[in-house]
Structure 1
């Protein structure tokens, strides 16, 4: 039976570290951005999108910009897109127009079209 000291020898530890590093580089990145993160970041936009008629709240724009900067990887941006697309299906045309206009009003570049018809698989 092997002892713990033999299992954790410097050479075996180095080999294990090397294997883990190779696997981490070889495996595709998965989205770390959840819909709950997306929705909590955009919480300040809800009243404007639903009710309209007033200026976009500053916390909406700061949340949107923070979310865009958080979505650094393609899987994160695709996840962001999928979360928004899911909500867009139940939005009225007026709500969709206000949501789509946030990019311009907040001076932030949303990396996809806000629409129930957007193809999130093509988001880069």
Structure 2
């Protein structure tokens, strides 16, 4: 129960921080949406053994909502911003999330990803 409360508090804090640091670009993908879709992935992103079905569902839904180059770049910027607030983030797991969820993305996400180079 305490673990669930801690996870909820962390997710809420992450969501609040993402809203504060959200890019100002107007696209159909907002940082709030990005956080909502990927909150179930926090355990895996912190070094858990594998992403949950709910995590992969969110990742796939998020990928489906980023339908333009601008949306994908905005999503990338949101992810990079949010990653700075996740304590214990495992860069390897973050980089392999899309593959583990059977998403065929043309780039690997990580702290050094150049969001401006991402295209549709």
TM-score, with structure 1 as normaliser:
0.66
> Larger relative contact order (C-alpha < 8 A, sep ≥ 6)?
2
Question: Aligned-residue CA RMSD in angstroms?
Answer: 2.3
- Count of paired positions: 95
Taking the aligned partners of 2:74 and 2:86, their CA distance within structure 1 comes to 19
Gaps of 5+ in 1: 1-28
Q: TM-score, normalised by structure 2?
A: 0.68
Where does the alignment leave 5 or more consecutive residues of structure 2 unmatched?
1-24
CA 1:91 to 1:113, structure 2 compared with 1: closer, same or farther past 3 Å? farther
Contact 1:88–1:114 at 8 Å: present in 2 too?
no
**Alignment check: 8 A CA contact 1:49 1:98 kept:** yes
SS in 2 for 1:108: coil
SS of the residue corresponding to residue 95 of structure 2 reads helix
Out of 41, 62, 71, the residue aligned to residue 45 of structure 1 is 41
Map 1:26-105; keep pairs closer than 5 Å. 30-53=26-49, 55-89=50-84, 95-105=90-100
1:108 equivalent in alignment to 2:103: yes
